[in-house]
A and B are shown apart, each in its own frame.
Chain A
């Protein structure tokens, strides 16, 4: 079986960070904050976070904070809840949450909660359970979850529960592994997993594993390394991960590596990117791959980072 090419991936991630002029980089300009989270968390899992210039990163993050308290995807862009979470997660990685005016960030997020408990992504009102997860995760990291109406947030998420046990982006939306991760994660963080029919959802999730050993995101779709995170972390949170063949999945992820140039792709022999590199490494961590730091399935941050937030003095 192939091995994880730790050094290659480490160098690949650093190169992505530096290369701001390729078409690929420019076209992803608007979500650089997400990219920072993917790249840096992957580096931490690989044990290489100290190769990064912390001050540079933090100074750039703070430049992305807008008047409303929310963060934008990159300098110049509008704020959005998506990038606010990534910013907070990166600061947590570096144990630098204290550079934040927590009230300011919390006010931005609480302002995005709607009457029915759902969350909008920004002032323009798009509603999606992804944003519910983001709000709950972000405020949990900042230790002020009680600033939102948690009960209503949970009941909105439950209104997106489908008859197959899964969750969609809005009520009636088809079950999709990404949405399921967000909803199960949000329910996990609010002590509400008892609302999940774990056997029903567990079966739906374990049937994402196809013959090649990879996982797809919904029935009759192609497998993709990023589902090694969305499906796997969901299975772990509901304690049903033993229902898939973990070894076969490890092999699939390792087959998606570019062992010459570094990086991981969605499927074997496809082009790599930092998004799939992160999800591949995170998936391997969840599968107990040796040499990787353990990652928390709900906060999507290394376990030691999460424990530091909740259990140190």
Chain B
């Protein structure tokens, strides 16, 4: 089916083909007769070999041969010599079949099945493998078989590692060998095998090795992914860390229980408007973890019992692991200024998805106070439309740059983590940066620029974890801009990376971006992707309008969001709004002027909770249906996304999907909605 040239067959070729077909058809018919009648004579078995030689893909013939082998091995007169001869025969048939098609799943599996009967030797099998790997060093069947032989015949990882080295020296362009090397090295690291105890010693050698591959031919991809893995091994600390939290350490939080955003008094630090009777504590880890609970995280405060706290992972409904975890504290009834102390990981139980324990217990504390109620809220109408483009941002006042910078310093968690002077890691990165700068001075190549960009970012994050400025951001942004021109096929990949770096860097331009301690304007920045969430946990009103966002992945971390504008972006489907389902305080949403309804293919269809992916959360009633008059089959996306929202105000105009019929469906799904596209409801 692959690699055959297209040409009209000549008449004599056609005739020959029909003759071949008839011959094969006859063989098949005869074979079936033997198989269905369970005939395993020498002649019958020989016929199956003939069939398999012509067509190794005829899987039932391999099954038949296994039955024949079992038949012979169960004979009363069976002896070791007979067994050997029977199994040797099978190995011969497999070899013949592989010669026909060395990618035949059936043939390779048959050989494994025969070998499992304990017959051949390591040397025999390695000899066979050698033949095949010489013919095609990327044959993954052969590599799989090699791994099978190595395991069942107990070849050491070190010996296999040497084999990958030999293969690579023969030809650097051998992704399969590099892949196998990564598997073996990981196993050796995990086992803490002799000679592989310290990554500090092993990684520099691997870097030297991989440079030879990359620098010999920078356009050959074989080494790229191995190098990225080495980078990951250099940068990632095994044990997870707490990257950020809300409230942050030293915060002074004023809880305001209303929905009106008109000029309430607030503390110089941060006011949280919450109409739900509770407020969140958000923990943001540097990698996904499980096991966050009231046993592993203790929250000490006068107005809540720790055991009552339910920690939830902010991830798709089935998951018990996430980077972001949240618990809700009840708002205290008294107006005392209370202190809350949060201890993370003082008992064991928090484990990363890679299997490493949270081993550096940390603690942070903040104060909480309730704004005394000044008016009778039952009489306040929340009819006013809230627009993020208006004065509301100014009401919260601008802060002096100084006090805002102070607030970011306070974000640092009291971590007793491994000293940032992990010298070998920074040194390794610095050396890599030097090597790639050299490569780029010799030739302008994509992998050079991309790797340098990644190295510089990693170096900055590692070396300056609490800095307000990332030293190399400008250079990195320029590298990504270059890449967009150099490799236009992957333009959007570089654009997304560019957006992420831009967001990391926003800390530098604090005064222009921030209008208050709870509002953030990130509009008109040409952002194609959101990121830096660990720095944005404090945001309650977010303006992302006039960007190029087609995804809001990760936004679920921003648990304090009550107003969000995604107006004039590139959202392509309702399912892309899944992250917003976790934002329990969201009341005002603007998704006008996007592309919802334009595209027949939904790229977030499986990233939202729905029956299609068997991920409708346990809190959802299985018998739930849309209210009468609304067919689920036509509106399932709207139903599953919006049914748990608690919006007061929604803007959806400017999307192809937003016709009158759809809007009336929305109103049925969200009966509490008060305003839709500027029109008052109910």
Contact = CB atoms under 8 A, between A and B. Distances in A.
A73 B179 contact: no
Contacts of B599: 288
10 contacts: A22-B18, A126-B109, A162-B182, A188-B613, A209-B490, A243-B493, A269-B5, A270-B3, A287-B601, A312-B633
B405 to A, nearest CB: 30
Contacts of A265: 6
A278 to B, nearest CB: 12
Contacts of A239: 551, 553, 603-604, 607
Given A22-B17, A23-B18, A26-B25, A311 B636 contact: yes
Given A126-B105, A245-B489, A288-B601, A191 B229 contact: no
Contact of A140 (B4, B66, B614): B614
B235 interface: no
B401 to A, nearest CB: 33
B513 interface: no
Interface string B591-626: 000000001110111110111111100000000000
A125 to B, nearest CB: 7
B3 A145 contact: no
A272 B6 CA distance: 7
B315 interface: yes
B634 to A, nearest CB: 8
B318 interface: yes
Interface stretch (B136-144, B259-267, B373-381): B136-144
B632 interface: yes
Contact of A174 (B143, B229, B232): B143
B490 A192 contact: no
Contact of A175 (B147, B179, B632): B179
B20 interface: yes
Contacts of A242: 492, 550, 603
A172 B36 contact: no
A275 interface: yes
Interface stretch (B199-207, B217-225, B248-256, B473-481): B217-225
B633 A311 contact: yes
B604 A170 contact: no
Of the listed residues B4, B6, B186, B288, the one surrounded by the most CB atoms of chain A closer than 10 A to its CB is B6
A174 B614 contact: no
Contacts of A276: 1
Interface in A159-179: 162-164, 168-170, 172-176
Nearest to B450: A203
Nearest to A222: B3
A30 B229 CA distance: 42
B551 A30 contact: no
Given A23-B17, A29-B28, A266-B3, A207 B221 contact: yes
Of the listed residues B3, B144, B222, B600, the one surrounded by the most CB atoms of chain A closer than 10 A to its CB is B600
B492 A243 contact: yes
A251 interface: no
Contacts of B343: none
Q: How large is the interface on A (under 10, 10 to 19, 20 to 34, 35 or more residues)?
A: 35 or more
Interface in A175-220: 175-176, 188-195, 198, 200, 202-204, 206-207, 209, 211, 213, 218-220
Interface stretch (A1-9, A98-106, A292-300): A292-300
Shortest Cβ-Cβ A-B pairs, 9 listed = A191-B615, A188-B606, A219-B221, A311-B633, A294-B600, A164-B225, A243-B493, A23-B21, A191-B318
B175 A220 contact: yes
Contacts of B322: 194
A94 B2 CA distance: 30
Interface stretch (A50-58, A76-84, A85-93, A109-117): A76-84
Contact of A76 (B3, B17, B36, B176): B36
A190 B224 CA distance: 31
B144 A169 contact: yes
Contacts of A244: 489-490
A73 B59 contact: yes
Interface string A107-134: 0000000000000001011101000000
Contacts of B422: none
Interface string A21-51: 1111111011100000000000000000000
Contacts of A189: 606, 612-614
A18 interface: no
A258 interface: yes
Given A237-B606, A269-B5, A273-B1, A219 B175 contact: yes
B173 interface: yes
B372 interface: no
Nearest to A145: B614
A125 B113 contact: yes
A29 B551 CA distance: 45
B318 A288 contact: no
A130 to B, nearest CB: 9
A255 interface: no
B319 interface: yes
Interface in B486-535: 488-493, 496
B179 A162 contact: yes
A122 B62 CA distance: 12
A207 B288 CA distance: 26
Interface string B630-658: 00110010000000000000000000000
A243 B147 contact: no
A266 B2 contact: yes
B633 A307 contact: yes
Contacts of B173: 220
Given A27-B54, A191-B316, A219-B225, 4 more contacts: A29-B58, A30-B55, A174-B143, A307-B633
A21 B18 contact: yes
A173 B144 contact: yes
A13 interface: no
A183 to B, nearest CB: 13
Contacts of B186: 163
A6 to B, nearest CB: 17
Contacts of B7: 271
Given A22-B17, A288-B601, A30 B2 contact: no
A290 B347 CA distance: 58
Contacts of B183: 162-163, 172
Contacts of A287: 601
B601 A294 contact: yes
A308 interface: yes
Given A78-B59, A190-B614, A194-B316, A271 B633 contact: no
B57 interface: yes
B32 interface: yes
B229 A164 contact: yes
B48 to A, nearest CB: 13
A286 interface: yes
Contacts of B112: 126
A234 to B, nearest CB: 11
A224 B615 contact: no
A305 to B, nearest CB: 12
Given A190-B318, A310-B612, A311-B636, A172 B59 contact: no
A207 B225 CA distance: 11
A77 B17 contact: no
A72 B600 CA distance: 34
A61 interface: no
Nearest to A307: B633
B317 interface: yes
Given A23-B20, A220-B173, A269-B6, A193 B1 contact: no
Nearest to B187: A172
B538 to A, nearest CB: 25
A236 interface: yes
B248 to A, nearest CB: 26
B542 to A, nearest CB: 21
A191 B138 contact: no
B63 interface: yes
Contacts of B636: 307, 310-311
Contact of B317 (A22, A124, A162, A191): A191
Given A22-B18, A23-B24, A193-B316, A258 B6 contact: yes
